[in-house]
Amino acid sequence: MCFKLLDIKLGENDAKREIIVIKNFEEYYYDYNNISKEILTPTKFVVIGKKGTGKTLLAEYTKKQSLKDFNWFCRSETYKKFSLTELKNLENGAISTEQYISIWKWVILIELSKMVILNVSLETENGYKILEKFLIENEFENKMESFKTISLTKEKEFALNSKWFGVGQKESLEQKKKSYIELIEPLENLLIDLLSNKESTYTLLLDELDDKFDGSQSYKNSMICLLKSVEELNFKFYENNIKFKVILLIRDDILNTLEYCDLNKIKEGSSIFLDWGLKDIENSPLLELVTKKIRISVPMLKNKTHQEILAEVFRKGKNISISKNKKVSPPIYILSRTMHRPRDIINFFNKIIKEYPNRSKIEADMILNVESKYSSYLHNEIMDELVGHLKKEVVTEFFQLLKNFGKTEFKEKYLKIYFTENHKNYKQIKVEMINEIIGRFYIAGAVGTKKFNKNTGKYHFSWHYKDEGIYYYNNDEEICVHNGLRKNLNLR
């Protein structure tokens, strides 16, 4: 019996949507390099990756895995709806870098407290009863989203039994009202006393922190303080033999805007980079991700190897031109149009499936026919990624400049000459801005560079998403527009 392309379930562009659409999404999850286990190691607490590399799905997969262990309590909190204004209002005015630390500590401790209350094995402990009463009396509902803790904190002081928290001993059992700042240390001490040397594990994943990135110093200060707070609390709980850890998931382009003296230390010693391979080859982890999902969704292929599934899905025989002198297989052609991110390759395959649901094989002409739609998607992705780095009007106009210039490869100086000759057509860009804009486009993956290597007799291509750690481009080298964008920009 033959399968059709519509039988293949590859998931969605958006992880939050995927876990709703595919109830057993964890079976389809490709745990490349056992990343889900690595993030649980005590010393790692930051997951770094470009937009679309799978940070949110990793968080949701970790949360789903925790359900298999009754002694593992895990929360995955999104800050997509969070407004930085809430943090500013909490301090009633301008806020310094250090002032954010107390806010983030408070939020994290409340989230830990909400997980602890779910642990029925602690019900007989006095600290548990104190904690439960505090949360109930102050309306910290367990289902309340993490960012709403900030709104609640802004609106009120908190009721507590002063003796329980070790403040104001003379008041004995008298009910007191305290600000959140006064409660951070006693709440932290209560949790340490309650959880030290216990077997249960608590994991708090903070995701989509970059959704509100606007390039402002306030945003950067808040993220620096979050890093500091998480590092300090993780270490303190680990030091007290408590299995609790906060994990942050953040985009690399945003992390690298932070002016923090310990940033490199955190990146080198406490971070995990979501890396999906550097080469356009058929055993790329991205293609293995696709064949894993095909294997799960098409029963007749469940025992097939990666290469066997590629042979089943793609029709052999016709390769596709990738340049004047080079042809590649259809899977490699698709991979060459991506920025080596799961979101890209899933989007490309899904567009083929949507256009040709009743076909049983993917052929070269099918790929070429949907490439324009995919190219439009990639253009919009880059537009989104550059929010907060460049004004939207500037990005839109620069894309138009590239389209009008009409070249896939060029030197910066020639683009500037063309712009100067046609500057009246551009209202948002000035010639002195072009170098900075290209630099931002390079980091986003929209452009790369190429340089001839005399020793090898070949050109070396540099792309930010492949050359880890390179955050600038050499303007002496030729600039290359990404293959995946060329259809959208009508470049040949």
The per-residue DSSP string of 394-451 comes to HHHHHHHHHHHH--SEE-HHHHHHHHHHTGGG-SS--GGGHHHHHHHHHHHTSEEEEE
Query: pLDDT band at 87, cuts 50/70/90?
Result: low
Could you state, in order of their start, the residue ranges of all structural domains in the chain?
A: 31-273, 285-383, 390-485
As beta bridge partners, residue 203 has: 74, 245
CATH of 390-485, picked from 1.10.238, 2.40.30, 1.10.10, 1.10.3470, is 1.10.10
Residue pair 88/216 in contact (Cβ under 8 Å)? The answer is no
Give 371-426 pLDDT, tens digit per residue.
999 999 999 999 999 999 999 999 999 999 999 999 999 999 999 999 999 999 99
Instruction: Please provide the DSSP assignment of 71-113 as one string.
Output: TEEEEEEE-TT--HHHHHHHTTS---TTHHHHHHHHHHHHHHH
> Would you say the pTM of this structure is higher than 0.85?
yes
pLDDT value of position 172: 45
Q: How far apart are CA 353 and CA 3, in angstroms?
A: 12
Share the mean pLDDT of the chain: 89
Record the tokens describing residue 329, joined without a space. Answer: 């297989």
If you ran DSSP here, which 8-state letter would residue 147 be given?
A: H
- Whether residue 48 is predicted with pLDDT greater than 70 in this model: the reply is yes
pLDDT value of position 280: 87
Instruction: Please provide the DSSP assignment of 298-367 as one string.
Output: -GGGTT--HHHHHHHHBPSS--EEEETTEEE-HHHHHHHTS-S-HHHHHHHHHHHHHH-TT-SSB-HHHH
Strand order in the sheet with 72-78: 72-78, 201-207, 243-251, 46-49, 271-273
Record the tokens describing residue 35, joined without a space. Answer: 């990343």
If you ran DSSP here, which 8-state letter would residue 226 be given?
A: H
Give 108-159 pLDDT, tens digit per residue.
999 999 999 999 999 999 999 999 999 988 888 888 777 777 777 766 677 6
pLDDT value of position 174: 47
Record the tokens describing residue 67, joined without a space. Answer: 């359900």
* Other Cβ atoms closer than 10 A to 374: 24
Residue pair 205/63 in contact (Cβ under 8 Å)? The answer is yes
Q: How far apart are CA 245 and CA 272, in angstroms?
A: 15
Weakest-pLDDT range from 153-157, 244-248, 336-340: 153-157
As beta bridge partners, residue 323 has: 326
Tokens 């994943």, residue located: 205
Residue pair 360/5 in contact (Cβ under 8 Å)? The answer is yes
- What mean pLDDT comes out for the span 286-314? 95
As beta bridge partners, residue 206 has: 77, 248
Q: How far apart are CA 101 and CA 162, in angstroms?
A: 24
Instruction: Please give the C-alpha separations between residue 136 and each of 73, 94, 130, 153, in angstroms, as whole numbers.
Output: 20, 32, 10, 14
Phi, psi of 133, rounded to the nearest 5 degrees:
-60, -40
Name the most confidently modeled range: 20-24, 87-91, 213-217, 338-342.
338-342
Record the tokens describing residue 302, joined without a space. Answer: 């469940």
Give 159-188 pLDDT, tens digit per residue.
665 555 554 444 444 456 777 888 899 999
Q: How far apart are CA 481 and CA 487, in angstroms?
A: 11
